[in-house]
């Protein structure tokens, strides 16, 4: 298993299918993508015993953007994910 790709600001990351991109920025309310065929997003949440960061898993070759939102649905930054 490969370590996740950690992001906390605008960036371009190069990834492979199966890689996880983890948003480490505090107070993220949600993430979205412009290409769900390439990125499968996961929202920040708590299950009672642990807190999980937002992020995405690379599902296919291509390029996608991961939009990271903070409180009041304000766009914080965009991460471009490239999977050759």
Q: Mean pLDDT of residues grouped by 10 in the chain (84 residues)? A: 92 97 96 98 95 97 98 95 96
According to the model, what pLDDT value does residue 13 have? 98
Domain that holds residue 78: 5-83
- Give the per-residue pLDDT at 1: 66
For residue 32, the domain's CATH number is 2.60.40.1380
Report how many domains make up the chain: 1
In sequence order, the 6+-apart residues with CB closer than 8 A to the CB of 82 are 12, 13, 14, 15, 63
pTM, full prediction: 0.94
């Amino acid at each position: 298993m490969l370590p996740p790709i950690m992001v906390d600001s605008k960036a371009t990351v190069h990834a492979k299918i199966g890689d996880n991109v983890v948003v480490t920025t505090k107070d993220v309310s949600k993430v979205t993508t412009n290409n769900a065929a390439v990125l499968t997003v996961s929202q920040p949440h708590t299950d009672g015993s642990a807190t999980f960061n937002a992020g995405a898993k690379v599902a296919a070759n291509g390029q996608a953007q991961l939009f990271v939102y903070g409180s009041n649905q304000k766009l914080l930054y965009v991460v471009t994910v490239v999977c050759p």
